[in-house]
Chains A and B, each alone.
Chain A
Amino acid sequence: MVIFFWLLAFLALGSALGVVLCRNPVYSALYLILNLFLVAAFYAMMDAHFLAVAQIIVYAGAIMVLVLFVIMLLGLKPINTPRPILVTTIGIGSGIWFLSVILPIIAISVPDSLPGVTPVIGGVREVGRLLYGKYVFAFEAASILIIAAIAGAVALAKKRKIEEVR
């Protein structure tokens, strides 16, 4: 099990690096899809089965297809401007600084298990009961958010009349 975890973690970090380092956005998107599948595998390993399935359907199935459509639609060529050295140094330096602060804190302060905790399984029934019970208001609010996002996306991506006149 632990070896399996290390293999998946290695692949996940490698594909995350692939997203950042690839010149071509299409390769970045494909690496991100691989990464999303691996995250779904981690959910499944942590007994969050509903989330693992939702991750694959929503992220890898819907969002990434949308991203790939947009990349293909725009027909982009890789941007070949040289990377600004100052910004790259600042970015990598701040990343290393943050990791050197946070990793020891995690390693010291997080226990392997808390006393008196019964393990839970995040199946569809348990999560659904919580979603339609305790969090029903947030769930309904999410539907309003989605409608607002649809309206916003249509309004933004539509061709404007003024541009046609020009």
Chain B
Amino acid sequence: MIPISYYLILSAIMFIIGVVGVITRRNAIIMFMCIELMLNAVNISFVAFSKLHGNLDGQIGVFFVMVVAAAEAAVGLAIIISLFRSIKSISTIDASELKW
């Protein structure tokens, strides 16, 4: 039997790897994948707490996170394609028109 805190620590470390990826990488697709990584880390926490409390509501939360992630993938990748069409690059350094 594995203690719940192991899963939570794994989830925290995975989340931080995702955060560091979003902060340091400049490729829009890799930033997008790091966001997916963070969503998955949170999902592990959801399921771990659901197991700890003997309650399935957390797993429903994971289900809806998956739904939102699918919608986000469709829209986010469409934005990346349209960005590439207009500036021929997906580096976020080149997409700085709105930066003050």
Which residues of A pack against B, CB within 8 Å? 1-2, 5, 9, 12-13, 16-17, 19-20, 22, 25, 28-29, 32, 35-36, 39, 42-43, 45-48, 50-51, 54-55, 58-59, 62-63, 66-67, 70-71, 73-74, 76, 79, 81, 83, 87-88, 90-92, 94-95, 98-99, 102-103, 106-107, 110-114, 117-120, 122, 126-127, 130-131, 134-135, 138, 142, 145-146, 148-150, 152-154, 156-157, 159, 163
Residues A70 and B77 in contact, CB atoms below 8 Å apart: yes
A156 to chain B, nearest CB (A): 4
How many A-B Cβ pairs are below 8 Å? 227
Q: Which residues of chain B have a CB within 8 Å of any CB of chain A?
A: 1-10, 12-14, 16-21, 23-27, 29-30, 32-34, 36-37, 40, 43-44, 47-48, 50-57, 59-60, 62-64, 66-75, 77-82, 84-85, 90-91, 93
Nearest-Cβ distance from residue A15 to partner chain B, whole angstroms:
9
